[in-house]
Amino acid sequence: MTAPYQVTAIKAFNDNYIWAIHQDQNDKCVIVDPGSANKVLEFLTNNKLSLDAILITHHHHDHVGGVNALQAHFPNTPVYGPSKEARDTVTHPLTEGEVIDITAFEMTLKVLDVPGHTLGHIAYFDESSLFCGDTLFSAGCGRMFEGTPKMFSNSLTKLAALPIDTFVYCAHEYTLSNLNFAQAVSPNSIELKQYIASCEEKRSSGLPTIPSSIGIELSVNPFLRVNKPEVIESLNNKFAIHLNAQSNLDQNFKWLRQWKDSF
């Protein structure tokens, strides 16, 4: 489904993407995970936009570091964020099932609790887009800093159930690195080889590999494929264990995340 808005990547730090949601013929903008205020202010100035709202997925500094400075430039701007990680910067704490109506343009976002990377991590989605912070990456997922394998596995299962044409806007350009690992897990995957070629072409042209889509991730992301025979076989060979098709997804996820952490 075509979104009634545009999403532009604002590059920050080494590999972060701050997402700017905006619309033609409209001077308003919504910013997702502004780790850097300067980068956002430069984008807003260059495009003659004003800040309408800020969306936060979790509390890490590279996602919230620019919030206070942006609020100083745009007083009374609402800052939406996870209730379980609400800091002084969050003015509208959220939890799963709540809805945000962006009145500046046609956008209604639903909230999902997706703990694992952090305990209070949330994601925002509508009929066409998913803003998932560091929970789901293209061909990978975030590190498990605060959660448990069961938490993280359940969170990824939620995201995997979204419509396959949903655009996936994650917060880092980790795709080629993740694909290197994915190919170690599934060395014979034709889908992976094709996606690697596509992403390498984008990066060689200086373009982001993001957004991906849920459909793409279901075909290439080992963390959304932990119950697939080739992934189970690779895990058994790597760790000399005996997982099978009846193994709990969180157990498969635990071993896969452990492998990625030392890859």
Mapping DSSP to helix (H, G, I), strand (E, B) and coil, where does residue 94 land?
A: strand
* The pLDDT value given to residue 1: 59
> Is 60 an active-site residue?
yes
> Which listed residue (22, 58, 59, 121) is catalytic?
58
- Assess if residue 135 is contained within a domain: yes
Phi, psi values for residue 193, rounded to 5°: -60, -40
Is residue 110 within 8 A of residue 99, CB to CB? The reply is yes
> Is 73 an active-site residue?
no
> Is 101 an active-site residue?
no
* The pLDDT value given to residue 104: 84
- What sign does the CA torsion over 163, 252, 170, 67 have? positive
> Which listed residue (22, 59, 60, 121) is catalytic?
60
> Which listed residue (22, 52, 59, 62) is catalytic?
62
pTM of the model: 0.97
Parts of the chain with a pLDDT under 50: none
Helix-helix angle 190-204:175-185, to 10 degrees = 160
- Assess if residue 189 is contained within a domain: yes
> Which listed residue (22, 59, 63, 121) is catalytic?
63
Residue 127: which CATH number? Answer: 3.60.15.10
> Is 58 an active-site residue?
yes
- Assess if residue 232 is contained within a domain: yes
- Assess if residue 257 is contained within a domain: yes
> Which listed residue (22, 33, 59, 117) is catalytic?
117
Q: Which of 157, 164, 139, 162 is nearest to 215 (CA)?
A: 164
Domain that holds residue 128: 6-261
* The pLDDT value given to residue 246: 86
- Assess if residue 1 is contained within a domain: no
**Based on the structure, what is the number of domains in the chain?**
1
> Which listed residue (33, 52, 113, 134) is catalytic?
134
> Is 92 an active-site residue?
no
